[in-house]
Amino acid sequence: MITPIQQTRQRGALVPATRSADDVHSDDTKAPADQDGVVQNQAALLAQQNEFNFQLQERAELMREFNELRALQMQQLKLDDEIVKKWIDLI
């Protein structure tokens, strides 16, 4: 069953909060936080891609199974038709 993709971030998470004059950060402290966010986003994207690939593989396997069952059903129907024809010939 296909489920909807969950959001990887909350709405408004990328909007910077307002800062006071005392809350000043240097570029050195800002870079690792940005890298952590990028790493987390990449990890979430990778997890989403893995889930998508798994669902595609599962769907493909179900389709193969369905096709095999349909082929078996067609063979059975052909055999049933042959049996009916032989019964008709006996009459």
Higher pLDDT, 17 or 86: 86
The per-residue pLDDT for range 48-67, each reduced to its tens digit, is: 999 999 999 999 999 999 99
Residue 8 CB neighbours (<10 A):
13
**Is pLDDT at 8 greater than 50 in this prediction?**
no
Give the number of other CB atoms < 10 A from CB of residue 51: 13
pTM of the model: 0.49
Is the per-residue pLDDT at 85 higher than 50?
Answer: yes
80: exposed, middle or buried (Cβ count in 10 Å: 0-12, 13-18, 19+): exposed
What is the Cα–Cα distance from 74 to 68, expressed in whole angstroms?
A: 10
pLDDT above 70: percentage of residues in the chain: 63
Which residue's entry shows tokens 């396997």? 61
